[in-house]
Amino acid sequence: MRKTKQLLAVLGLMTIGIGVAQADYTMNLMEGATKLSHEVYEMHMIALWICVAVGVVVFGVMFYSIYYHRKSMGHKAEQFHENTTVEIIWTIIPTIILVIMAIPATKAMIDIDDTSATEMTIKVTGWQWKWEYEYLEEGIHFFSSLDEESNKARHVGSGIDPWSVPHYLLNVDNPVVIPINTKIRFLFTAADVIHSWWVPDLGWKKDTIPGFINENWTMVDEPGTYRGQCAELCGQDHAFMPIVLIAMEKTDYAEWVKEQKALVIANTNAANREWSVDELITKGASIYANNCASCHMGDGKGMPGVFPALSGSPIVTGDIEAQVELIMNGKGMMPAFAQMLNPVDFASVVTFIRNDLSNTVGDSIQPSIIQEKQSAITVDEDDV
């Protein structure tokens, strides 16, 4: 009786623990927000209940046999080996189960790969460590990086409590935006190493592979914000490469498209005006924090033997044109920033590095010059 009470007490505590865990997190596959995710969920539940039924039957027979044929009741162990009938049965039944499971699985796989009749296309390129998005029909193009608040809090010794940051490590500066009830085709590739674009609510994930194009599609039914992250170990800052997808009503999406196109014009106008050194340094501080500090450190001291210091660097304190070319084209582990940063951000971070981080060069470069260099690179790529 005492052992029975102890067993019931343990089971009760386990039930309470499971309830708390399920409230705070989840104990099942999420159902998602798309037709594909619902199909995947239903297939998962079919497999789960089949496994539960098999487990109940197998363990039920096993426990029954152990209890009612125990030695204390006078039973003696039987000595037998092969039984052709039993072996045929336990081969046929699993085969039937697998065939039953294969029907919804095959249907789901066919649906996932069916990118026909899509209404718009978004190209996704993985970079260390951010995402590049191109809306091929709309001509919209931008990069999406970890948001500034998470980026500040993640550094050792920042003094910022991560729990105080909304959606810590799962927020970005530029989310990808899509209209609801629209079949959208995604094209996936990478510029450096293998990444993996994963938003659980969509019901699938796709690897982004250099020199290779993967594709998939989605159609979100309800407006909302859906979060994900890179699901492939892609380097030092793999953990800081989130994805935020915002699904909007079609009218709201149309307004967002207008805003993005207006932003392109505003950035062009900003690049064409004359900027003071102080303006560039002030703006460059945040650009440096979001794009450079993870490797070269916030103080520019770098990581000896891994990432070079920028403080007192002969490249930084030398010819500014050479430094611009290096940042544009990249070198070693440093990616090419030629198209990652708009002209104002590019000029700002170069000016900041040369006039901060213990550097006092005193010069600057204007966004208009960077714009000319970026345009030249684009022309060369088009010729190729």
For 276, left (φ over 0), alpha (ψ -120 to 50), or beta?
beta
Residue showing tokens 């088009």? 382
For the chain, what percent of residues have pLDDT higher than 90?
A: 35
Residue 1 has pLDDT above 80, yes or no: no
The predicted structure's pLDDT at residue 180: 95
The answer as to whether 191 is a domain residue is yes
Q: In whole angstroms, what is the distance from residue 252 CA to residue 186 CA?
A: 21
Q: In whole angstroms, what is the distance from residue 271 CA to residue 369 CA?
A: 9
pLDDT confidence bin for 4, thresholds 50/70/90: low
The predicted structure's pLDDT at residue 233: 92
Average pLDDT (75-100) is: 85
Q: Considering the chain, what is the average pLDDT of its residues? A: 86
Average pLDDT (140-167) is: 88
295 and 317 share one domain? yes
The answer as to whether 170 is a domain residue is yes
Residue 22 has pLDDT above 50, yes or no: no
Residue type, 160: I
309 and 222 share one domain? no
Q: In angstroms, how far is the first alpha carbon of the chain from the final one? A: 83
Residue 192 has pLDDT above 80, yes or no: yes
The predicted structure's pLDDT at residue 8: 60
Q: What is the CATH number of the domain that holds 92?
A: 1.10.287
344 or 75, which is more confident?
344
Last residue of a domain, one of 224, 259, 294: 259
127 and 203 share one domain? yes
The answer as to whether 155 is a domain residue is no
The predicted structure's pLDDT at residue 81: 77
Q: State the residue range of the domain holding 321.
A: 273-383
218 and 345 share one domain? no
Burial of 301 (0-12, 13-18, 19+ CB in 10 A): middle
- Total number of domains constituting the chain: 3
pLDDT tens string 258-309: 999 998 888 888 888 899 999 999 998 988 888 888 788 888 888 887 888 8
178 and 134 share one domain? yes
360 and 237 share one domain? no
127 and 254 share one domain? yes
Burial of 286 (0-12, 13-18, 19+ CB in 10 A): middle
The predicted structure's pLDDT at residue 383: 47
Q: What is the CATH number of the domain that holds 314?
A: 1.10.760.10
pLDDT confidence bin for 378, thresholds 50/70/90: low
100 and 171 share one domain? no
64 and 125 share one domain? no
Q: What is the CATH number of the domain that holds 211?
A: 2.60.40.420
Contacts of 256 (CB under 8 A, 6+ apart): 177, 248
pLDDT tens string 340-359: 888 899 889 999 999 998 88
pLDDT confidence bin for 105, thresholds 50/70/90: confident
pLDDT confidence bin for 69, thresholds 50/70/90: confident
348 or 376, which is more confident?
348
Average pLDDT (194-218) is: 94
Q: What is the DSSP letter of 335?
A: P
The predicted structure's pLDDT at residue 307: 82
Last residue of a domain, one of 259, 282, 300: 259
pLDDT confidence bin for 137, thresholds 50/70/90: very high
245 and 137 share one domain? yes
The angle that helices 343-355 and 250-272 make with each other, rounded to 10 degrees, is: 50
The predicted structure's pLDDT at residue 168: 93
pLDDT tens string 246-259: 999 999 999 999 99
Last residue of a domain, one of 208, 231, 259: 259
Q: Kindly report which listed range (11-20, 35-44, 293-302) carries the lowest average pLDDT score.
A: 11-20
The predicted structure's pLDDT at residue 13: 47
Instruction: Report the DSSP beta bridge partners of residue 313.
Output: none
The predicted structure's pLDDT at residue 9: 59
Residue showing tokens 């039973």? 75
186 and 247 share one domain? yes
100 and 207 share one domain? no
5 or 93, which is more confident?
93
